Amino acid sequence: GAVVSQHPSWVICKSGTSVKIECRSLDFQATTMFWYRQFPKQSLMLMATSNEGSKATYEQGVEKDKFLINHASLTLSTLTVTSAHPEDSSFYICSARDGTGGPTNEKLFFGSGTQLSVL
């Protein structure tokens, strides 16, 4: 159990286009989801925290108009990179916190990541 599915696993796009990344909790309800960005050989950099049905809370320095986050249900969150530019190229990872009260309650599970390359 406690599987987080993230799609796509990689995407290549042209500069100026928008890209949407999906994150789904498959077997638990994720009351909170997080989006991270990771540069090569570095730790996870939190971009934003989203609670189901609420607006996302963005970390300092993260442009909310550029990185649109939607958490419309307890099992789905999306990150849309709008008007992507080469400097947005990175590895994006979502995570979901189990709020079901079961054996994996309050634990944080990660998706498999999305490698975005903007040409």
Partner 1 sequence: GENVEQHPSTLSVQEGDSAVIKCTYSDSASNYFPWYKQELGKGPQLIIDIRSNVGEKKDQRIAVTLNKTAKHFSLHITETQPEDSAVYFCAASYGNQFYFGTGTSLTVIP
Q: List interacting residues with partner 1 (CB under 8 A).
A: 2, 4, 6, 32, 34, 41-44, 46, 49, 91, 93, 95, 97, 106-113, 115
- Cβ proximity to partner 1: between 51 and 82 the closer is 51
Determine how many CB atoms are found less than 10 A away from the CB of residue 63.
10
Q: Closest distance between partner 1 and the C-beta of residue 73, in Å?
A: 18
Q: How far is the CB of 106 from partner 1 (least distance, A)?
A: 7
Give the whole-angstrom CA distance, residue 18 versus residue 25. 23
Residue among 57 and 82 whose Cβ is closer to partner 1: 57
Using CA atoms, how far residue 57 sits from 15, 48, 51, 66, in Å, is 26, 5, 9, 14
Strands 4-7 and 57-58: unpaired
Q: Which is nearer to partner 1, 82 or 110 (CB)?
A: 110
